[in-house]
Chain A
Amino acid sequence: MFITKSINTFGSYLMLMGKVFARPERMRSFFKQYTKEMSQLGVDSIGIVLLISFFIGAVICIQIKLNIQTPWMPRFVTGYTTREIMLLEFSSSIMCLILAGKVGSNIASELGTMRVTQQIDALEIMGVNSANFLILPKIAALVTMIPFLVTFSIAAGIIGAYATGWFANVINPEDLTYGLQYSFTEWFVWCGIIKSLFFAFIIASVSSFYGYTVEGGSIEVGKSSTNAVVHSSILILFSDLILTQLLTE
């Protein structure tokens, strides 16, 4: 029963994506929507990304310095570990899990409300490919904006780590700088960005699927929003496992 339902859902998702990835009716309308979505999904998320990354960067630095570093370890370990955590996992995977909550629920509830108030039917009656018109700009916008969000997250995390040195004297800033630069592998930054592109696609497409296919009223819209976040998060974690294996082998 569960397997049949999952296969049906996956089939419906693929069929919807088939409708989404078509040539837009009017490129002018597409770019208008695309710009709007970049602002709504990307620019409006910068604040929360910076805030969370700053504090997590600071907390990682404190935790490692106080709980892991011992006199037997080199002093750069804290900076080095903070950098690796931010680059490899936090700024890509964990940040995308957070964005799945913020952006995913936003997309699912917006499309779900449009569905139950017949706005999507209105588009269909006019002869507009509603899936393409509504979903493609969201996917394109989030995939475009996510590398910037990841970069901002890395930067904010590192500033957070420095803040523990400047304001709380947890770590010597020179040691931190040395640790952050120690054995730096540029590929890890690209790993984070490549992973985030996949995660952005998952967040936008899965959330759109749950919102677009809502049937019923406000309760179903709420459920679709929850489903969007839960399923996006599960898929992000699952694909993180595969991508990490593939990219860091």
Chain B
Amino acid sequence: MIQIESIHKSFEGKEVLKGISSTFENGITNLIIGQSGSGKTVLMKCIVGLLLPEEGHILYDGRDFVSMKKKERKLLRREMGMIFQSAALFDSMSVLENVMFPLDMFSGYTYRDRVRRAQFCLDRVNLIDAQDKYPGEISGGMQKRVAIARAIALNPKYLFCDEPNSGLDPKTSLVIDDLIHSITEEYNMTTIINTHDMNSVMGIGDKISFIFEGHKEWEGTKNDVFTSTNERLNNFIFASDLLRKVKDVEVGNIEG
């Protein structure tokens, strides 16, 4: 479980995060949603430690990430896996080497065991046949799946995904969402996904936090979204006619 308590972050005098607090449970997919520029990427960077907040606490199962020593922070990072918007695979390494990388750095496994573990992770994301290819030789969706395999190689307790569906077609997005959701349940991880993909919200939003102009505007589940009266949330999620029709149907079903 990850708890964040009144996180503040400013850049050159402009306050981007204005005291956000929330709790992210394990075993479910926690979504952070919001418009571009709302501060959700900054929040994610603060949670994973790429940025340090000026105020507030980030508790990983009770361990305060902000105030802990550098060495402890480094050890905690080994319990994290992250999937970046751009997949962030190492270009000079093959798919198998990419997945083996965290194992090479931090596991005490033998070479054979490291290969076996990496192949297991690749098999989990259905990419065992691509293990000898390089990132430049595979599609964007496959790169994201390799990133997932790399992120779970060390059996992390915490999984972070920064816009995992960005640049993918809707069908591949669903594959990635399902994969993240099933892995979260399977390994009982605390998963936080930063997205503005509405399919993800409707599909895997076990818990959704809506960020608006640097503060938490709304929080609930994917079912609560349909019955929410929060105007800003409705304007954001049901921005298109199609989605408004979907909402009407869903609300009808709930009431019926």
Chain A residues with a Cβ under 8 A of chain B: 25-26, 28-29, 113, 117-119, 121-122, 124-128
Contact = CB atoms under 8 A, between A and B. Distances in A.
Contact of B88 (A25, A26, A29, A119): A119
B88 A122 contact: yes
A126 B78 contact: yes
B74 A125 contact: no
Chain B interface, >50% SS class: mixed
A118 B77 contact: no
Contacts of B101: 126
Contacts of B102: 126
A122 B84 contact: yes
Contacts of A28: 104
Contacts of A25: 105-106
Contacts, number: 50
Given A26-B105, A29-B104, A29-B105, A125 B48 contact: yes
B121 interface: no
Contacts of A118: 84-86, 88
Given A122-B84, A126-B102, 9 more contacts: A25-B105, A26-B105, A113-B91, A118-B85, A118-B88, A122-B82, A124-B77, A126-B78, A127-B80
19 contacts: A29-B105, A117-B86, A118-B85, A119-B91, A121-B88, A122-B82, A122-B88, A122-B90, A124-B49, A124-B77, A125-B48, A125-B80, A126-B78, A126-B102, A126-B106, A127-B74, A127-B78, A127-B80, A127-B106
A136 B78 CA distance: 22
Interface string B81-110: 010111011110000000001101110000
Contacts of A124: 49-50, 77
Contact of B77 (A26, A29, A119, A127): A127
A121 B104 contact: no
Nearest to A28: B104
Contacts of B242: none
Given A125-B50, A125-B77, A126-B77, A119 B90 contact: yes
B84 A126 contact: no
A34 B72 CA distance: 28
Contacts of A113: 91
B239 interface: no
A25 B78 CA distance: 13
Nearest to B162: A118
A220 to B, nearest CB: 16
Interface residues of B, number: 23
B75 interface: yes
Interface string B33-73: 00000000000000011100000000000000000000000
A91 to B, nearest CB: 31
Contact of A127 (B75, B85, B160): B75
Contacts of B77: 124-127
Nearest to B84: A118
Nearest to B160: A125
Contacts of A119: 88-91
Given A119-B90, A121-B50, A128 B85 contact: no
Among A121, A122, A124: residue with most chain B CB under 10 A? A122
Contacts of A128: 105
A40 to B, nearest CB: 10
Contact of B104 (A26, A117, A122, A125): A26
B97 to A, nearest CB: 10
Among A26, A124, A126: residue with most chain B CB under 10 A? A126
A118 B50 CA distance: 11
A113 B91 CA distance: 10
Contacts of B48: 125
Contacts of A26: 104-105
